[in-house]
Each structure stands twice: as structure tokens, then as C-alpha cells.
Amino acid sequence: MPSRCSFRTKVAFDLVVRQQHAFCLLEAADIAVKRGIPRLTAVEFGVANGTGLMNICRIAERVTRETGVEFDVVGFDTGAGMPPPVDYRDHPDLYAEGDFPLQDSGQLRRRLPANARILLGEVAATVPEFLQSNPAPIGFVSIDLDYYSSTKDALRLLAAEDPSLYLPTTLMYVDDIQFREHNAFCGELLAVNEFNQEPHLRRITPYNFLRKRRIFTRALWVDQVFVAHILDHPARSVAAEPATRTRVLDNPYLAAV
């Protein structure tokens, strides 16, 4: 009888429900292990009825068993569904006021593990409050807010003064970019592009060559994984490992007769 495959193998073969969460949480934990960070924060913007948040909690538990890195899980939501769209940038052709409400926050909170919580309210207010609460370094951020305006407010999460509040490369999942109507001039992608134009040392880019590294290269979620590069992080100003010798590249052509 074949032995059960490991959690890492399941993640590699996209066998964990919501593969994007599994990949990002495991990747973040592996980075934390290398940096000696024992605990991370995982954030979801756009909780709705909590399916994604509970999924993150369950996967985080499995990642902890695999890596030893523990997680605090934080969900941000208005609790009342989406606010009115501001203008065309919020895709009123796709989303409307009141969509995706959190119907029973009390029940969801009772079902969450002790390391998870929900912050209700407009993210423009709850994000600054959260940043002042001295959280564990942020390793993963899931953006599922649909609107440009809400996402723009949510990305203030990545603009804290202290760069050690993040992993030097913080994993991100940007959910609402896959439909034909989505584009770089509306919605979540516009918010990301404007964030990248601001005068700070934080930049959000697609995860380089991730599709080529995956076993199932046609999975759609791969194009929704991004990396927040914390360019002012102390780790990006020093060598990753102490230099014990000068690195030299071999040239086999010089030895050829």
C-alpha cells in the first residue's frame, strides 16, 4: 500500500484546496525559517462569509506542523458587504453595493482558531490601527476586495514606517484580476500600479517565473501571485550569509585543449 504523500508534495502537485494559499503560506514560512523568524502574520482583505479565512487558518496549521513557523491570521472586512462604487475604476459593471456581506460574524468568530481574528470596518481606518498593534512580521497578504478604491486603502498595510514589520519578500495573492473586464486601469491592478508609483521603497511585482517552476503550468492562480518587495528592509542591505571566501566562476573553455 503506497505511503501518504507529504504536505510539501501536495502543495507541489496542487492537491491542497485553494492552492494559492498553500503555496504562499508555505513559501512565507520557508523564508521565515531562513531568517530565524518564529511567527508570521497572514492577512486576508475581503472576508465575506469566511470561507477563505478559514481555509487560510487550516493551511497555516499544516504549514506550522511542516516548518515550525506559527501564524497569526487577520481578516479585514466591512461586515456589511461592499460599499457603493466610487466610479468606473471600481468596476460597477461587475460589482455592486452590498455584495458579499458577512452574514453572521459571531458564528464565524466562534469557529475561528485562537490565532485568528476579524477586524470589521472600513480598511482606511482598520489598517492603521492594526499596524499600531505591533503584529508579527507580515508574510502573506491576500487581496479580495474587488474595488480599486478599497484596494488602494488596503495597500497602506505595506507602507508602515518600520520595514521589519514584513518579510523582505512578502507573498501576495491578488484575486480579482482574471476576468476579461479587469485591466491595469481599473480595480485591484490599478491600485497596485499606483502604489508602485508612490515615493517609497516598497514595490509589488508578479512572482518571477513562478509558472515555469510549477508542475501544473496552466493553473490560473499562478498569475495572481505577487511579491511585495520591501526594498528598505535591513535584509536587503547586507549579504544574506557571511562571506567566507570570494566566489569565483569556473570557465571550462580555458581548460580545453
As a three-state string, the secondary structure of the chain is CCCCCCHHHHHHCCCCCCHHHHHHHHHHHHHHHHHCCCEEEEEEECCCCCHHHHHHHHHHHHHHHHHCCEEEEEEEECCCCCCCCCCHHHCCCCCCCCCCCCCCHHHHHHHCCCCEEEEECCHHHHHHHHHCCCCCCEEEEEECCCCHHHHHHHHHHHHCCCHHHEEEEEEEEECCCCCCCCCCCCHHHHHHHHHHCCCCCEEEEECCCHHHHCCCCCCHHHHHEEEEEECCCHHHCCCCCCCCCCCCCCCHHHHCC
pTM for this entry: 0.93
Q: What average pLDDT does range 217-226 have in this prediction?
A: 97
In a domain, 242, yes or no: no
Q: What is the mean pLDDT of the chain?
A: 95
The CATH number of residue 106's host domain is 3.40.50.150
| pLDDT of 242 over the 70 cut | no
**pLDDT class for 122, splitting at 50, 70, 90?**
very high
Q: Which of 87-91, 129-133, 244-248 has the lowest mean pLDDT?
A: 244-248
In a domain, 248, yes or no: no
Count of structural domains, the chain: 1
In a domain, 214, yes or no: yes
Q: What is the pLDDT of residue 2?
A: 46
Tens of pLDDT, residue by residue over 39-50, are: 999 999 999 999
Tens of pLDDT, residue by residue over 60-116, are: 999 999 999 999 999 999 999 999 999 999 999 999 999 999 999 999 999 999 999
What proportion of the chain, given as a percentage, has pLDDT over 70?
A: 96
In a domain, 239, yes or no: no
**pLDDT class for 1, splitting at 50, 70, 90?**
very low
Q: What average pLDDT does range 229-253 have in this prediction?
A: 84
In a domain, 241, yes or no: no
In a domain, 196, yes or no: yes
In a domain, 85, yes or no: yes
In a domain, 251, yes or no: no
The domain in which residue 195 lies consists of 13-234
